[in-house]
Each structure stands twice: as C-alpha cells, then as structure tokens.
C-alpha cells in the first residue's frame, strides 16, 4: 500500500485536479473504478474565506470519495494559511494540496499557480504557513518549471519538503508548454532522487503502458491522470492492475453507455441540489448536459461515429438524447448514424 504521510491509498493511480472537470460527480465515478486519491477542483483561497458560493461548492466533499484532498491556490502565505484552517474546520477531507502548477493566465498573472515556480523561497513560505495552520497533511502540485530556461523542479521540490510537505505531484511539463509537448522524464527522475517524500508523476498518461514506462524511467511511486481520465474513469483500474501485474478487462459498450447515463443523471441531481432560484431548477438538466460536454468528448473517442457525435454535441440537452446519440455513434457507421436529436434532444 502507498502512503502519503498518514493517508493510505488503495491504488497507485490518482486523479489530477482539473478546473471545470473534477467535480464531486466525476470524482465518485473515478473512485468506483479504482482511483486511489481524488482532489477537488482548485479553489481560490480568498474567495473561500469570503464565502463565495462557487468556491464553497468546489471545496465540498462526500464520505464516499475518501481519501480526498482539497486543492487551494493563492500567492500570499497568510491567505493560504487562513483558508487551510477554514477547510480543516468545515470540510471533511484527508489532506490539503497547494496548486503551484496551473498555467492559466488569469491565475499566473496574479502570482499564483505556476508563477510560484519562479520563487522557491516563496514556495517554502507558503507550504510552511499552511503546515502550521492545519493538522492535515499538506501536499503540492508543481511543474518542471516556468519554461525551458527555468527548469527548477528540483529546487521547488526541496522547498516543499523542507517546509513540511508530505508528498509532491510533478507535471513534468513547463508552464509554457501547458498541456502539450514532450514530458520531461529525465527531470522527473531528478526530482525523485532529490527528495525523500513520495513523488507522483503527472503528464501525458493516457493508458497503463505510459504509466509503467514513467515508473521504470523515473522511479515515481504513483501516477496522476488528468485528461486521460476524461470519458475514461476505467483508466485507474487499468493502471493499478498493470502496475501490480494483474489482469484487467476493458469496459463493454453496455457498461460504457451505463456509465454515461449515470454521469449525466448524477450531474443533473447535483445541479438540482445546488440550484437556488426556481428557474435554476427548471434548467438543471440542460445545465447538467452542458456541464459534462468535456467528458462526453472522451466517452465517444474512438467510436466509428465520433465526428458525427461531436457535431451534435452542442444540441444535446437531455440525458436520453445524450445516451441515445452516443450509442448511435458507437454502433452505426459514420455515414449512416441513424436519427439525431433536435435542439430539444428529441429524435428528429
């Protein structure tokens, strides 16, 4: 069994926190399929302290997804520490993770996310402040560096460890690369060698063979899957089975369609719970359909009618329309995919 401080993981494959994607609905589906650890979407620390509704919602967890970490981001140690203390008091979770790798301009221009990679001394102060504000274990997610001229992942990793961080996830691409281009396994191996805390490898893991290759060439103790999990929550069971030499059976088409239906239906239920005004309740199914579109792109990947499905995607507004159209994409040739939905989602 793998441990990150006092937190024990049941699998070596963990879900990367992704804005707009790793909501509680998707996290639960991934846990069911063998994910060892999940994180909330990144939560802005000062928004959480101000009680902003969306930030509080992002930080919510459920017992079924444990172990779960709440991921916070900010550039000021005092703000991060206060947010960590708030999470410790109000949210049931197993650890607090600090985002130091997000490449999105609106975050880095404020000195947070991947911008923190440029100041290892500030990294140490941030981690130390949070460690002193909570009894929960503290981890961090970083990158290989800002760009190819600033590859300082080793220095940042040492700063995280020195400040009391119990583990580290490293996306082995630079901020300049964002999510594309080669993954720097050589630098990732240097990080593993430089620190005594567990290092989780991240970047470009789309199937079990990639996870095994990363382990062999870098020595990471686990892998973090991001975009490779979208529309493919089964990847966690696949990776953990391969890691331990166990057989694994990919999902059948009925199992795939059943997962899509559950995903959209639970998203609908979540939107009903979070709805405020009555109009929001009336629009809950449509908002759920929009909410899962990024996942649907993954669920249809490789289908004979993939392109046809993607052309219909923005018009799918009900659970039944999504499932029926996805099934047609998998079972009918692209040239004759069968009836498609109208704007309301009903068969044409």
Q: Among candidates 125, 152, 183, 139, which has minimal Cα distance to 39?
A: 139
Asked whether 98 and 84 are in contact (CB, 8 A), the reply is: no
State how far the Cα of 300 lies from the Cα of 72, in Å rounded to an integer.
Answer: 32
Helix (H, G, I), strand (E, B) or coil at 172: strand
Q: Pairing relation of β-strands 2-4 and 7-9?
A: antiparallel
| Cα(340)–Cα(253) distance, integer angstroms | 19
User: What are the phi and psi torsion angles at 277 (to 5°)?
Assistant: -75, 160
Q: List, by residue number, the catalytic residues.
A: 102
Q: Which helix (H) or strand (E) holds 44?
A: strand 43-44
What are the distances in angstroms from CA 320 to CA 33, 87, 194, 261, 316? 24, 38, 52, 8, 9
**Per-residue tokens: 202:** 């991240």
Could you please report the per-residue DSSP string of 259-313? Answer: HHHHHHHHHHHHHHHH--SHHHHHTHHHHHHHHTHHHHHHHTTT-TTHHHHHHHG
Distance CA 299, CA 310 (A): 11
- Round to whole Å and give the CA distance between 95 and 136: 5
């Amino acid at each position: 069994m793998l441990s990150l401080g006092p937190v024990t993981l049941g699998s070596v494959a963990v879900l990367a926190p992704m804005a707009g994607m790793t909501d509680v609905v998707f996290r639960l589906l991934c846990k069911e399929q063998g994910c060892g650890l999940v994180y909330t979407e990144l939560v802005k620390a000062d928004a959480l302290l101000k009680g902003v509704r969306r930030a509080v919602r992002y930080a919510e967890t459920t017992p079924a997804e444990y172990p779960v970490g709440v991921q916070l981001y900010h550039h000021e140690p005092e703000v991060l520490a206060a947010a960590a203390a708030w999470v410790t008091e109000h949210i049931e979770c197993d650890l607090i993770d600090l985002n130091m790798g997000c490449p999105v301009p609106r975050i880095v221009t404020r000195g947070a996310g991947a911008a923190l990679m440029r100041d290892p001394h500030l990294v140490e102060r941030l981690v130390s402040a949070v460690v002193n504000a909570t009894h929960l274990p503290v981890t961090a997610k970083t990158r290989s560096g800002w760009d190819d001229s600033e590859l300082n992942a080793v220095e940042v990793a040492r700063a995280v460890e020195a400040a009391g961080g119990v583990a580290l996830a490293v996306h082995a691409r630079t901020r300049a690369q964002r999510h594309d281009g080669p993954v720097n396994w050589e630098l990732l191996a240097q990080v593993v060698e430089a620190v005594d805390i567990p290092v989780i490898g991240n970047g470009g893991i789309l199937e079990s063979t990639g996870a095994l290759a990363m382990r062999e060439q870098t020595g990471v103790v686990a892998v973090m899957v991001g975009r490779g999990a979208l529309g493919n929550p089964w990847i966690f069971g696949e990776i953990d089975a391969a890691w331990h030499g166990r057989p694994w059976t990919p999902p059948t088409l009925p199992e795939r369609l059943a997962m899509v239906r559950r995903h959209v239906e639970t998203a609908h239920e979540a939107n009903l719970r979070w709805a405020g005004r009555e109009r929001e309740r009336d629009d809950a199914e449509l908002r759920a359909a929009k909410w899962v579109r990024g996942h649907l792109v993954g669920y249809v990947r490789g289908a004979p009618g993939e392109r046809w499905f993607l052309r219909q995607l923005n018009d799918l507004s009900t659970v039944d329309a999504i499932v029926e159209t996805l099934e047609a994409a998998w079972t009918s040739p692209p040239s004759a995919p069968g009836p498609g939905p109208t704007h309301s989602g009903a068969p044409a």
